[in-house]
Amino acid sequence: MDAQLAQQTDEVIKHYGTDAEALVEILRDLNQIAGHLSPEHLLLIAQRLNLPSSKVYSVASFYSLINIKPLGRHVIRFCEDAPCHVAGGREVWEALEQELGIPFGETTPDRQWSLLTTSCIGACAVGPVMMIDDEIYGNLTPEKVHEILTQYREADKGGAV
């Protein structure tokens, strides 16, 4: 097992203890430190907390802010809850898939973009809404999606984002 991976996991568990009730916090913090949770992370957490690995995996895969796959340079989280959906979310959803050439849940082959969904992020008044990394973008339209992604691509070329 990777020594760094074991060290990261043990540090987070040391902070929260081995009570199974802390599972979500442990997964969340470790995800933040490691960028994503590998099968080795999940197995180690299961061992340390004395839980079935299937339980740890199902909790990790349930939460949209916990990643069980490596992600791209930029992570798009598109709100899929009803208020955003009725505000035109379907067209924006399709525009994102088309613009990036990948379906939701995937990362582009060049590892520049990951396209994920999220539940409500509290910006329903300006739906449809997405986050790119830590930035929130609202009142989205297919045209606006194109503009925003173009800005990121341009900035990446210049090394600014």
Q: Which residues bind ligand FES (CB under 6 A)?
A: 79, 81, 83-84, 120-121, 123-124, 127, 129
Smallest distance, ligand FES to C-beta of residue 54, A: 31
Distances (CA, A) of 102 to 11, 22, 24, 59, 114: 36, 34, 29, 25, 9
Containing 136, the helix (H) or strand (E) segment is: strand 135-137
Smallest distance, ligand FES to C-beta of residue 152, A: 21
Q: What are 51's two structure tokens? A: 């839980």
Comparing CB distances to ligand FES, the nearer of 34 and 120 is 120
Smallest distance, ligand FES to C-beta of residue 84, A: 3
Comparing CB distances to ligand FES, the nearer of 11 and 94 is 94
Report the distance separating Cα 28 and Cα 33, nearest Å. Answer: 9
Comparing CB distances to ligand FES, the nearer of 28 and 85 is 85
The residue whose two tokens read 């590892």 is 111
